[in-house]
Structure 1
Amino acid sequence: MDGDGDGDGRADVPAASAEAELSGAVVPSAASDLLSGLSDDLLVHILLRVNRVDSTEAARTCVLSRRWRDLWVQIPSLAFQCFNPDGCARVHAALAARARASVAPDIRSLAVFYYGGDSLPPTASWLCLAPPVLSGELRLKDWQAPMAANELPAGIMERGAFELLCFKKATKISLHLEFLTLMPPPSGAFNALRVLHLKRIRFDGQFILGDSMFPSLLRLLIGKTLGLVDLALSSRSLVWLKLTHLRGLQRINVEAHSLELLGVAHCLRYNLQVASFSMEGLKVLRWRDQFDPILVNFSEMPHLQQLSIFHFTPYGRPGLNPNQDRLRIINHFSRIHHLQLMVPIESDLSDTESKMEGITILPNIEILSLVLSSHGHVIGASVLYLLRMCTGIRELSLTLPEDSEVLNTCPLNCICDRQPNWRAEHILMKFLREAEILNFRGEDHELDLLKLLLRAAPGLRRLRITCHRSFAAWDRLSEDLQSWASQETSVEVSQVTTPLQP
């Protein structure tokens, strides 16, 4: 055995005791070290494979020899699964070992998943060790038992607080805290932070996010929160913002003049007093929420390219107007470059009525995208009604359902096809130049809609059809389309080849 103890590892038992405590490993009495001849880079690569699920496995190698003790702290990513409060001691030991190492690179990824049930994850002991050695991503997820969509965990009001320290070198932080109260640091700057995800967080009334603490932030997600009453965001760097299910929100003020994408879902429905958005650089707006023009104020958005509206409902229960908020925000704009509508048709349309008649006017639209969820219902009448409202479009995209949706058979005289004359109607879309249909199955009502579209668009120059994998006759469809379309129309027919996911 040489002086470094690289032979059988026994000389390193005292030096490796802390790491052995971390891993819970048993020190071997003797072993033939056949791996020592490999290069450090290759050994670190092997440890990375061992480290993929839980870094405890990689840490166990520290008892082999001094060389292995030095190698495992070179791993750039650490992941720990803690099933009780004591399990978090391993995270502390790992970070302490990194701090003691004479030469160790910064951690690029630290993930801690806590499965402690109702007990709170102990974070103070190890979290204070992480900021100096972390220059990448921090992920902390507190797992609780599965709950219904609108159910809150038992004892939610008694849960404690999570004190977030200032990570000056971290580039991404993702926190999923099962409604622990988030306490941001009182001072300091997350200078390198580019991405911040906050999910299932409890706030103490107000959350203020500004350039002084997050000077380089690019992407921010805040979702499924409690206790957030007043949200104030002011950022010169932010380009992507998604807000979803902010329960109890009353006031929101966003000043982000470089923001390019904003998504809002289920935040402004009940308690809203005022919502102000200043975002002159916005390009994409995704809206799935209430829109009251008295309470919701937008700045001018001269660069807006796409407006996406979710759950634009063709049929619904009598007396309800499910599309009111959608139409309000659509008609807030006099011109929309690209309007994307998610159009769901419920599987059971009994005791429903058409809600399309409430649409009397739409703004000037250049590109219209319809993403349909039909549950086997006829889509032609719904699509035709929307096309009548925007005959000036120059591009059209229809996305039909994929395999994940169970296709049903319409009952006799179903409301979705109660107006059979839609197949013979004539509309003129003289500016339409390009049309695309995805997941085309070749069903009769789909073919009828396709024929109607070709009749309505004499100036169509390009038609692209991507057929569903179940459509066996897709290769003959091209010939039929050429006979229906004008000579100036280029027809492209292909079939989805992506295999089904298990």
Structure 2
Amino acid sequence: MEKGEVVRRTKLGPAAGGGGGRGGGARRPKMGPGGGGADLISALPEDLLLQVLGCLRCARAAARTSILSRRWRGLWTRLPDLVFRGVALRSLQAALASVQAAAGPVGVTLLDMCVPDALLHSVREYDMPPLLHAAAALSPVDLRLAVGEGTQRLYVQVEVPRLPRAISVELQGLDLVFADPRRSWLGFPALETLSLTGCRANLTDLVLRCPRLRVFRLREDHGAHHMNIIIRSSSLQELHVDTRIPFTYRIDIRAPALKRLAMSFSTSDKIIVLVSVLAPMLETVSWRCTYSTVSARFGLWGLSEVRLQTEENNGHGGQLPPHVNVLSLFVAADDSYEFPEEVSLRTEIEKHMVTHFSVLELRVETWGHVFGAFALHILEMDQISTAIQSLKVILLSSEDDEACPQNCPCEEPSNWRSQTISLTNLEKVEIKGFQGEGHEFDFLKLVFRCAPMLKTMSVRLSDEVTASNDDCCKKIHDVFKMYPFVECNVIVDLSPDSSHGGAST
């Protein structure tokens, strides 16, 4: 689409035979240029002419039709769908004024406007509010306004007007304020879908003005302002939040009808995010928190990411439903971490348990350290020990791993091997990256001892342990033989594309 163009779209349909539209009655055919024949196209009903203009999908071509005859002049302003791209702001305001004069009280169906980065240098802050109010005067059903499409953000402050017919609204690059009292009929009484990208707004105030809101999307990937995501809605069914700036302080959601939640945010060691989610009808979740610096620990183990996601039940367990919620913890060992003493690893993990889950996934960068004490610390958490039916432990190592020094804190508490916890619902365990170290066998025995309902156990050897390492495989099978009622498997990767499995029962 060329710069400076205006595009109108309209649905194709049968045109009325004798007229239709505003002043759309059939007219007497006019003579063509130089009297060479009748102008049959101009004689078509207005509804059909609008369909022709809609199919052009090019403002420049549509504007040129105005020179054909008076019949075509300004006809584009009567189309129900209008898209502006790369139009100077003053020209855009003038175009909206022309559309308003043509549309009258009927309004438009779609109004899509974008002021690109290339034109932002000429935009003044007091230019934007009149544009948004001019757009509201057209009473669009679907409104889209983007100020800047790249990395530039002006956060132009605008007072949000009333949009009584709007069902869908998408805004980008604006600082939204409200001058009227908080009453839904003064805001967006018909709005069902709201999308904000790079916008500042009081989300609590905004959502309360949308009594029929069903889908809310929020994205922020630039800026240095702090965010509080506080939402109260009795109608909201889908919430999608993606913020990549590490300044989220509070997430507080009360949405009794919410069925789908997607939340992605980041934080740092200087911010402790307060999380509270009340959504009893939640069906699917995609929750992700990343830490720009490690902010919670147990011993030398630090938390770098937490996920809680709804996934297909690809073999997590035969008794589990088709879809399961998986809690994934990403941790790493590093004695160079400096942690604020008030941050507890368990407390940090618990606040991300915004819904039930039945699968726990531990991704551990060991760096040669003993992970058993840490894993036990996680497994004995009340909300984990009673909930999990499937456990997956992924041990990540590298060639730079070094042996633990004597009296390494990774062994604390030192009696972890002899402890027993209750994992009464655990049915399936998978351990990947098993290297055959003594402490790994100790952890394996611990899981067997603590999971009386265990049905399957799979141990996948790391790349460093080859199929020729019969001693490691023999030791694993010796452990398996102690639990004959559990289906056990040892998996050895022979090549990137093949694997070998052995089972003992």
Q: TM-score category by the smaller chain? A: 0.5 to 0.7
Q: Which residue does 2:407 correspond to in 1?
A: none
CA apart distance, 1:138: 2.0
Inter-CA distance 431–7: structure 2 relative to 1 (3 Å threshold): farther
Q: Secondary structure at the match of 1:236?
A: coil
2: distance between equivalents of 1:171 and 1:446? 61
Q: Deviations over 1:350-377 (max 9, x none)?
A: 7x85666423232123454869797999
Helix, strand or coil at the partner of 1:130:
helix
- Say whether 1:129 aligns with 2:149: no
Q: In the TM superposition, what is the alpha-carbon distance from 1:168 to its structure 2 partner?
A: 2.2
RMSD: 6.1
- Whole-angstrom distance in 2 between the partners of 1:240 and 1:75: 29
Q: How does 1:369-384 map to 2 (within 5 A)?
A: none
Q: 2-side partners of 1:171 and 1:320: how far apart?
A: 50
1:393 pairs with 2:389:
no
- Structure 1's 416 and 471: CA in aligned 2 closer, same or farther, altered over 3 A? closer
The answer (yes or no) to whether the contact 1:226–1:248 under 8 Å persists in 2 is yes
Show the 5 A alignment for 1:358-377.
Answer: 358-359=374-375, 360-362=377-379, 363=384, 364-368=386-390
Tell me what 2:331 maps to.
Answer: 313
Code of the aligned partner of 2:178? P
Q: Distance in 1 between matches of 2:232 and 2:249?
A: 17
Is 1:266–2:269 an aligned residue pair?
A: no
Instruction: From the superposition, tell whether residues 271 and 313 of structure 1 become closer, same or farther in structure 2 (CA, over 3 Å).
Output: closer
Q: For residue 190 of structure 2, give the secondary structure of its aligned residue in structure 1.
A: coil
Give the match for residue 20 of structure 2.
none
Counterpart in the other structure of 1:169: 165
* 2:195 is the counterpart of 1:197: yes
On the 8 A contact 2:77/2:99 being kept in 1, the answer is no
CA contact (8 A) 2:29 2:42 kept: no
Paired with 2:218 and 2:487, the residues of 1 have a C-alpha distance of 43
Q: Percent identity?
A: 13
The answer to whether structure 1 residue 338 and structure 2 residue 351 are counterparts is: no
SS at match of 1:266: strand
Is the 1:181–1:202 Cα contact (8 Å) retained in structure 2? Answer: yes
Structure 1 residues 371 and 72: CA distance shift in structure 2, 3 A: farther
Compared CA separation, residues 41 and 328, structure 1 to 2 (3 A): farther
Partners of 2:208 and 2:232 within 8 A in 1: no
Query: Aligned residues, how many?
Result: 393
Tell me the CA shift for residue 56 of structure 1.
3.2
Give the match for residue 76 of structure 1: 81
How far the C-alpha of 1:135 sits from its partner, in A, is 0.7
The aligned amino acid for 1:135 is V
In the alignment, which of 109, 112, 121 is matched to residue 110 of structure 1? Answer: 112
Q: Which whole-Å deviations, capped at 9, do the CAs of 1:253-296 have from their partners, x for residues lacking one?
A: 5433333436262368645696654444445472516899xxxx
Q: CA deviation at 1:93?
A: 0.6
The counterpart of 1:96, out of the listed 95, 98, 117, is 98
Q: Residue 112 and residue 422 in structure 1: after superposition, are their counterparts in 2 closer, same or farther (change >3 A)?
A: same
- Partner Cα separation in structure 2 for residue 60 and residue 371 of structure 1: 64
3-state DSSP class of the match of 1:60?
Answer: helix
For residues 31 and 392 of structure 2, the distance between their equivalents in structure 1, rounded to whole angstroms, comes to 68
Following superposition, the deviation at residue 246 of structure 1 comes to: 6.6
1:44–1:71 contact (8 Å) kept in structure 2: no
Pairing of 1:291-330 with structure 2 (within 5 A):
312-316=330-334, 318-319=336-337, 327-330=346-349
State the alpha-carbon separation in 2 of the partners of residues 373 and 9 from structure 1: 81
- Taking the aligned partners of 1:80 and 1:338, their CA distance within structure 2 comes to 48
Map 1:123-272 to 2 at 5 A.
123-131=128-136, 132-145=138-151, 160-177=156-173, 180-187=174-181, 188-202=186-200, 207-209=203-205, 212-224=208-220, 227-228=225-226, 232-243=230-241, 244-245=243-244, 253-260=252-259, 261=261, 263=263, 265-266=265-266, 270=270
Q: Is the 8 A contact 1:118 1:144 kept in 2?
A: no
Matches within 5 A, 1:446-457: none
Tell me, in whole angstroms, the C-alpha distance in 2 between the residues paired with 1:344 and 1:176: 39
Q: Deviations over 1:30-53 (max 9, x none)?
A: 9998899899679848845x53xx
TM-score by length of 1: 0.55
**Contact 2:427–2:455 (Cα < 8 Å) also in 1:** yes
Name the residue aligned to 1:288: 289
8 Å CA contact 1:340, 1:370 repeated in 2: yes
Give the Cα separation in 2 of the matches to 1:92 and 1:199. 26
**Is the radius of gyration larger for structure 1 or structure 2?**
2
Secondary structure at the aligned position of 2:256 is classed as coil
| C-alpha distance in 2 between matches for 1:124 and 1:97 | 18
Q: Please, which runs of 5 or more residues in structure 2 have no aligned partner?
A: 1-25, 297-322, 401-416
SS of the aligned residue for 2:235 comes to coil
Offset, 1:214 = 1.2
Letter in 2 for 1:312: F
Q: Post-superposition shift, 1:75?
A: 5.4
- Letter of the structure 2 residue corresponding to residue 365 of structure 1: A
Q: Cα gap change, 1:70/1:365 in structure 2, threshold over 3 Å: closer, same or farther?
A: same
SS at match of 2:331: coil
